């Protein structure tokens, strides 16, 4: 594989990036919220966080706050967190559980499928259709141990879009299935508040031309990253551990034990997938790192990062800090770079954008995807 990469056309031209306005304009951000985050599948909540019937969690998707919950039949449900009477937030905590959803203002009460089941004087208001005035539902789906939601009235095919991204990267979704992510347990979670546009974070994740400069620990474990080629520039390429590296840890020491179901050629390798718009999946032999982005404004993004291990590791209290610390450092290095890039996006020098070197050209596919979603043309690319 490394041989293949050295054969790659690193010689080549520079490609232009979008102009700086792409990363600062509130109108472009609003278009992205409307046409990307509110129209595609977003990874929203860890399934285990709403394991029991009646448990729920509140999350932000696009510009909307949703309640993601589980009904008595064990099915996940997601609703806008807006009472249909006068609009108060129905759930006012981050998470909780109960047999119904009752609005705290006038006690309009909905069952776990969102249907209006009670309200003061409701029996004397015969024209109130209890389904019509139920909580407004959105499309929902479980996969990889997470609840995915889509606000669109007619959601795109999950297979073609979400799974399609995996196929594009790995060639076949079975390469991902091997990790049995849905069976893993949460070992650690960190939320990062990043003062940068969400697209800078995706661009950063997709290229490794910066790895030699800012990621000493990562390039120690994965020496090929120092050459500047990201795994994501190739189909099903996993960056190989260096000689003497025993695990994907901050110092290359052994991790917590290889996942029993991965293929032999997945051992001693790091794979990464970007599932647009808001998910990064990082797979290493003994754990998986799931990252979800929640854009807050054109210049701010929340990134939630979960480190997942086999349940026995988590339940036994095994020390996973050396594993967590490696990617936590990588995250902080990356987000620091994004935060120091954001301010320049409004400079006159960057009005027409910068350039992508050959090892970054595949980022252009992402730029085209965004432009296509929000409507192409000069208004969108500065």
| Binding flags for a second copy, 277-306, as an x/- string (CB under 8 A) | ------------------------------
Query: Cα–Cα distance between 375 and 305 in angstroms, integer?
Result: 31
Cβ–Cβ contacts within 10 Å for residue 55, how many?
16
By beta-carbon proximity to a second copy, the closer residue of 31 and 173 is 31
H or E segment and range at residue 280: strand 279-284
Query: Cα–Cα distance between 27 and 285 in angstroms, integer?
Result: 42
DSSP 156-202: PPHIIIIIHHHHHHHSSTHHHHTT-GGG-EEEEEEEEEESS-HHHHH
| Binding flags for a second copy, 346-375, as an x/- string (CB under 8 A) | xxxxx--xxxxxxx----------------
Answer for which of 27, 75, 92, 157 binds a second copy (CB under 8 A) is: 92
For residue 239, the SS3 value is strand
Residue 133 within binding range of a second copy, rule CB under 8 A = yes
| Beta-bridge mates of residue 141 | 148
CB 175 within 8 A of CB 234: no
Burial level of 271, CB count in 10 A (0-12/13-18/19+)? buried
Q: In the window 194-213, what residues touch a second copy (CB under 8 A)? A: 203, 209-210, 212-213
Stretch that binds a second copy, among 83-91, 155-163, 177-185, 215-223 (CB under 8 A): 83-91
Residue 80 within binding range of a second copy, rule CB under 8 A = yes
Question: Helix 321-341 vs helix 198-206: angle between axes, to the nearest 10 degrees?
Answer: 120
By beta-carbon proximity to a second copy, the closer residue of 187 and 228 is 228
Residue 63 within binding range of a second copy, rule CB under 8 A = yes
| Binding flags for a second copy, 161-200, as an x/- string (CB under 8 A) | ----------------------------------------
Stretch that binds a second copy, among 124-132, 184-192, 231-239, 249-257 (CB under 8 A): 124-132
Positions touching a second copy (CB under 8 A) are 10-14, 17, 20, 38, 63-65, 80-89, 92, 104-107, 119-121, 124-128, 133, 136, 151, 203, 209-210, 212-214, 228, 337, 340-341, 343-350, 353-359
């Amino acid at each position: 594989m490394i041989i293949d990469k050295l054969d790659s056309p690193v010689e080549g031209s520079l490609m232009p990036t979008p102009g700086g306005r792409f990363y600062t304009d509130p109108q472009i951000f609003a278009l992205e919220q409307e046409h990307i985050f509110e129209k595609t599948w977003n990874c929203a909540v860890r399934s285990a966080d709403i394991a029991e019937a009646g448990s729920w969690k509140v999350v932000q998707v696009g510009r909307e706050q949703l309640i993601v919950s589980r009904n008595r039949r064990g099915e996940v449900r997601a609703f806008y967190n807006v009472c249909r009477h006068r609009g108060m937030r129905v759930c006012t905590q981050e998470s909780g559980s109960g047999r119904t959803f009752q609005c705290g203002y006038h006690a309009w009460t909905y069952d776990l499928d969102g249907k209006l089941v009670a309200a003061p004087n409701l029996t004397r208001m015969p024209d109130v259709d209890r389904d019509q005035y139920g909580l407004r539902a959105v499309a929902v789906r479980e996969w990889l141990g997470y609840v995915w939601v889509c606000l669109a009235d007619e959601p795109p095919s999950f297979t073609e879009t979400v799974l399609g991204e995996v196929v594009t990267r790995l060639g076949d979704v079975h390469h991902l299935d091997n990790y049995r992510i849905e069976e893993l347990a949460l070992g650690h979670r960190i939320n990062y508040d990043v003062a940068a546009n969400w697209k800078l974070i995706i661009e950063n994740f997709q290229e490794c031309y910066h790895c030699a400069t800012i990621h000493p620990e990562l390039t120690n474990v994965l020496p090929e990253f120092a050459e500047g080629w990201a795994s994501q520039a190739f189909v099903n390429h996993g960056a190989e551990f260096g000689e003497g590296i025993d695990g994907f840890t901050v110092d290359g020491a052994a991790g917590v034990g290889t996942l029993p179901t991965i293929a032999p050629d997945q051992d001693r390798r790091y794979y990464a997938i970007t599932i647009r718009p808001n998910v990064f999946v990082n797979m290493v032999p003994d754990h998986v790192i799931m990252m979800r982005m929640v854009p807050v404004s054109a210049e701010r993004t929340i990134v939630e990062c979960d480190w997942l291990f086999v349940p026995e590791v988590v339940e036994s209290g095994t020390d996973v800090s050396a594993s967590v610390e490696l990617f936590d450092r990588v995250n902080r290095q990356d987000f620091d770079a994004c935060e120091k890039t954001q301010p320049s996006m409004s400079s006159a020098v960057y009005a027409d954008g910068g350039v992508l070197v050959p090892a970054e050209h595949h980022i252009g596919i992402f730029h085209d995807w965004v432009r296509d979603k929000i409507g192409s043309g000069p208004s969108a690319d500065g």
